[in-house]
Copies of this chain bind each other. A is one copy, B any other.
Amino acid sequence: MGGDFGPGITVPASLDCLRNNPDLKLILVGDSTILNQHLGENLSVFKDRLTVHHASQQVEMHESPSKALKNKKDSSMRVAINLVHEGLADACVSAGNTGALMATARFVLKMIPGIDRPGIISALPSVFGHTHVLDLGANVDCTAEHLYQFAVMGNELVKAVENIESPRVGLLNIGEEDVKGNEQVKTAAKLLENSSLNYIGYVEGNSLNAGNIKVDLIVCDGFVGNVALKSIEGAAKMISTLLKEDFSKNIFTKLAGLIAYPVLRSFKDRIDPRLYNGASFLGLKGLVIKSHGGADALAFKTAIEIAEIEVKQDVIRRISEQVEKSLTLSKSA
């Protein structure tokens, strides 16, 4: 029900995923009357793999997380997360209110022992393929321990979904020299140096998309990660806006634009942010994927696909085991 467009995009995206993947089963949680309307005859087409689960409420996009938790116990969001908690669903995908989704997920699913705070991770396109980044906004203030916990969890996720033996882990900083950075980052660097992770050292903001060397996972606090992500979005938007302006100047530039169109189009597809939509909450005892609120059907489909991959790769179990091995041990040591 969530996001800027609700079932108008979540339903078509779901149907598309069901068509593409014959193993997939989906439970659509929300107002059953509205959902059934959007589904129409598809409900019978996919009858073995598609269920509608009624929820009488929905969390508004700007509702406060605490109010949503208290007053919306039958919201689509809450019910979907309950299904994950009860083992009736393997993951929850939502385009709804991020704060409420996080608060509800934390309340219902609980944290993995050894993890203090959940983090939000997503992949970005880079000249080397992908870079996964966390935290993207769940935590505005992080201690070195929090950053280290993010690294352990993110490392396990990247291993699973990218099928990399030993991901290259970088710590986001404002320079590569040892003296740079704040105390949290400097202390986190020491924890990472002494860990079994393939820690490559400090990386700077440009490494998110195009550093000098490949980085598979970049760790930072949620304030910095969120600003970096949105700065990249802004840069891409400016470039696309100005490029369009320049190709629209006169008849000659328009003609050039027409001829260059197939290349520009295929280029645009390569870095299409919709193909990177879907951020995973890490640190919880269950899988929750947050789609961008403004996602269209293609973008929401990507978020569902990310959930599929993480379920198949058993990401939550792998993270829980790794956390138990490396974090609870180090705490008791």
Contact = CB atoms under 8 A, between A and B. Distances in A.
5 contacts: A62-B177, A208-B231, A209-B238, A210-B238, A256-B262
A174 B238 CA distance: 19
B205 A229 contact: yes
B246 A256 contact: no
A141 B204 contact: no
A10 B297 CA distance: 53
Contacts of A205: 226-234
Interface of A: 62, 64, 125-127, 137, 140-141, 172, 174, 177, 179, 181-182, 204-211, 220, 222-224, 226-239, 241-243, 246-247, 249, 253, 255-257, 259-260, 262-263, 266-267, 270-271
Given A174-B137, A238-B126, A238-B209, A260 B256 contact: yes
Contacts of A267: 242-243, 246
Task: Determine how many copies of this chain the complex contains.
Answer: 2
Nearest to A64: B179
Given A127-B241, A210-B237, A232-B235, A256 B259 contact: yes
A230 B223 CA distance: 16
A231 B64 CA distance: 30
Contact of A227 (B172, B255, B266, B271): B172
Given A260-B259, A263-B257, A237 B206 contact: yes
A234 B209 contact: yes
Q: With a 10 A CB-CB cut-off, give which of A126, A224, A260 has the most chain B CB atoms.
A: A260
A206 B236 CA distance: 9
A179 B66 CA distance: 12
A83 B289 CA distance: 58
